[in-house]
Structure 1
Amino acid sequence: MCDQCGCNTQDEGENLLPEKNKTIILTVNQRLLAANDEQAVINRRHAENHGAVVINLISGPGAGKTTLLEKTIDVLDKGLRIGVLEGDIETERDADRIRAHGIPVVPLTTGGACHLDAPLVHRGLQQLEDLAGKDGLDIVFIENVGNLVCPATFD
């Protein structure tokens, strides 16, 4: 027992747990993803300024995102300049599949994260611009990491 924390008191002390069915309102000063959202706005502006349409593909693992992207590239690759940001947790297998179609691709490996965040996409867009050259791109596809929960919450 000490005189510092109150453990020496003889009463039962204050119950810090809320009563059942009692509503507690917490004031949050900022959004958890505020910095990510700000970068996402910059990314969108960047794409608009360069005249590029950006399409983010999200679905579960093994659902066919890469196959859909390959088929789409084959159909659209007639006069359109296409680039791909290929998200994956660890490998570049899907990026290699897309690269085989002869278009610029930047692999974005997250090292364990289940989503691509806006800063990572921004770095990928910069690298993709370098690969695309002075003519730029008409369409940028982002193949997000194969997870339905995390990517949906990130802009």
Structure 2
Amino acid sequence: MSEIKISINMLNTNEEIHAENKNLFDEEGIFVINLMGSPGAGKTSILEKLIPKIKQNLNMAVIEGDLYTTKDAQRIEANGVPVVQVNTVRTSYLEGAKVREASLNFDLRDIDLIIIENVGSLVSPAEFEIGEDIKICLLSVTEGNDKPLKYPLMFEKSSAIILNKIDLLTFTDFKVEEFYEDIKLLNNKAKIFQTSCTRNDGIDELSEWILKQVKEKVRG
């Protein structure tokens, strides 16, 4: 596992860096996912479930964004895929320049898919394009069904939305129908998956959908 801490003077605009990253990944034929969600929503747990299924079909790598620790990267590394940790220290999102530096730790010629686990937040990560093909937002039922309307940008920009920890639904007042109505209002094109890492609910469907997105880019 590689660990990097970067301090970069942002000479280019974020849009320019996003375009540079996107060109690099497109030239190498790499599909990139920006996985976003609150701290504790289950982003790392979802990745731990997805990796064994995805790596059977293609080569993947993970960029882990966190404020300080390497704990999540250590968990991902245990699943046998290349991983780079980026510690943002005081910044609650990953910047495109840091994603670029992190990606260069991989042999990009051998990578089909990079999943970027962004810093835990429902606000800042949605505001920055970092070279990804798609954004995926993850929300746990323990956070409440009011979050899409409270933090609309993340849900508006996501190609897929994961409703996680559905095994805990009976212990919460999460209103599933209202959640779906709000998502439809914000983004009626988003694919919604209901998942539980403890019961493996929805993991097969989610992994198959991701594989389909990667293959469509390759064919294109």
TM tier, shorter chain? 0.7 to 0.9
Which one has more relative contact order, counting CA pairs under 8 Å at least 6 apart? 1
Aligned residue number for residue 147 of structure 1 = 121
Structure 1 stretches of 4+ moved >3 Å: none
Q: Offset at 1:37?
A: 1.2
Which moves more between the two structures, 120-129 or 80-89?
120-129
Task: Work out the CA distance in 2 between the residues paired with 1:55 and 1:128.
Answer: 16
Which residue in 2 is equivalent to 1:100? 78
**What is the identity, as a one-letter code, of the residue corresponding to 2:72?**
D
Q: Where do residues 5-154 of structure 1 align in structure 2 (5 Å cutoff)? A: 35-129=13-107, 135-154=109-128
Q: Larger helix proportion, structure 1 or 2?
A: 2
Per-residue CA distance 1:11-37 (angstroms, 9 max, x = gap) = xxxxxxxxxxxxxxxxxxxxxxx6111
- Per the normalisation by structure 1, the TM-score is 0.73
Shift, 1:151, TM fit: 0.6
Note the residue ranges of structure 2 that are not aligned, 5 or more in a row.
1-11, 130-220
How many residue pairs get aligned? The number is 119
Between structure 1 and structure 2, the one with the greater Rg is 1
Identity among equivalent positions (%) equals 40
Unaligned runs of 5+ in 1: 1-33
Distance 2:34 2:110 in 1: 18
How far apart, in 2, do the equivalents of 1:52 and 1:70 lie? 20
Distance 1:37 1:89 in 2: 23
Deviations 1:80-136 (A, max 9, x none): 10100000000000000000011100001101110000000000111123xx6xx42
Partner of 2:188: none
Shift of the alpha carbon at 1:79?
A: 3.4
More strand by share: 2
Deviations 1:18-64 (A, max 9, x none): xxxxxxxxxxxxxxxx6111001111111110011000100011000
TM-score (norm 2): 0.52
